[in-house]
Amino acid sequence: MTLHNDPIDLIRAKALWMRRTAFQMVFDAQLGHPGGDFSATDIIATIYFGVLRYDPTQPNMPDRDRFIMSKGHATGALYTALCAAGYFPEDWLKTYMQPRSMLNGHPNRNYLPGVETNTGPLGHGLPVATGIAIAGQITQATYRTYVLTGDGELQEGSNWEAAMTAGHRKLTNLTWIVDRNRLQQGAGTEETNGLDPLDKKFEAFGWDVQMVDGHDHAALFAALTAPTTDKPRAIIANTVKGKGVSFMENKASWHHGVPTADQLATALKELV
Ligand SMILES: Cc1ncc(C[n+]2csc(CCOP(=O)(O)OP(=O)(O)O)c2C)c(N)n1
Ligand SMILES: [Mg+2]
């Protein structure tokens, strides 16, 4: 048994297992979104194994913290985290994207314990999270709501409506993390519909904004656990799409690329 005294060591070990397992799942299914899985893995690992309060035996526990995976295409990262967190057995991962599997290409809360809300159509996670945070604010609940969006996803106007509402209502119980990998499906965000300066935009909408290296577990942990202010919190996590595998990094084609057997073997040699 490996003992982890330092929470950052535990997060690092989980993130490594998540990447290796997710890439095997994508290979087996010959389907998936590994580029966006790997930019988000360190963020999700830090949230699940360092920050979030939950009990996998009681997925609907009223005072659980909520995590909403708005970039619902990156199920390799989400499902491996939920499995490692204890929501379901490892065997289930082998059914990824098979007919009638509970592990669909996009997460479905009706099938899979631990999924907070169905996502896939981009642009809905932040509005839903904002609503959940408003409910928590009204009822003075102790839970906190975390939502992870992509950056290309921010082209959906619904995000900006929610951002305006959360700022207006001073939702101090809401944390929004943006996976800022600067790529969307087939191109860069800035050449498609520029987002910069994202920090200034969020500040103007009434958010407390932090920028971090989205692959630095200690920096992510510090940003996620920093004392709250009188504003909702936005964390712009600068990431690399395909992070961890040399031939995938920063390549738009790996958005929904699938590996050959040789590429899988190379990746597993690198992910150690
Ligand atoms: C409303 C909507 N339009 C289009 C898509 C198809 N789609 C899936 S992922 C994606 C790119 C998203 O880019 P980004 O948010 O940057 O995700 P990441 O780079 O983290 O994978 C698109 C266009 C979708 N899922 N939903
Ligand atoms: Mg992106």
| pLDDT score at 4 | 73
CA distance 209 to 95: 39
The mean per-residue pLDDT over the stretch 29-42 comes to 98
Q: Is 39 in the pocket of ligand 1 (CB under 6 A)?
A: yes
Helices and strands (H and E) in the chain: how many: 9, 5
Measured in Å, residue 62 CA sits from the centre of ligand 1 at 31
pLDDT of residue 5: 75
CA atoms of 79 and 72, how far apart (whole Å): 11
Average pLDDT over residues 241-253: 98
Share of the chain above pLDDT 90, in %: 98
Is pLDDT above 80 for 149?
yes
Q: Is the CB of 120 under 6 A from ligand 1?
A: yes
pLDDT score for 224: 98
Nearest CA to ligand 1 atom 19: 184
Q: What is the pLDDT of residue 3?
A: 64
Mean pLDDT score across all residues of the chain: 97
Ligand 1 atom index nearest CA of 151: 16
Q: Which CATH architecture has domain 10-270?
A: 3-Layer(aba) Sandwich (3.40)
Give the domain ranges of the chain: 10-270
Q: Where are the alpha helices (DSSP H) in the chain?
A: 7-29, 34-46, 75-85, 125-139, 157-168, 189-193, 198-204, 217-225, 261-270
Q: Is 261 exposed, middle or buried (0-12, 13-18, 19+ CB in 10 A)?
A: exposed
Please compute the mean of the pLDDT values over residues 91-97 and round it to a whole number. Answer: 98
Helix/strand/coil for 104: coil
Q: Going by DSSP bridges, is the β-strand pair 174-180/233-238 parallel, antiparallel, or unpaired?
A: parallel
Side-chain half-sphere of 170: how many Cα atoms within 13 Å?
A: 3
pLDDT band at 2 (very low <50, low <70, confident <90, very high): low
Confidence (pLDDT) at 17: 98
pLDDT over 70 at 245, yes or no: yes
Q: Give CA–CA dist 122/31, Å, rounded.
A: 19
Instruction: Taking residues 174-180, report their average pLDDT.
Output: 99
pLDDT digits (tens, 9 = 90+) for 178-224: 999 999 999 999 999 999 999 999 999 999 999 999 999 999 999 99
Nearest ligand 1 atom to alpha carbon 72 = 25
| 151 CA → ligand 1 middle, Å | 9
State which ligand 1 atom lies nearest to the alpha carbon of 184.
Answer: 13
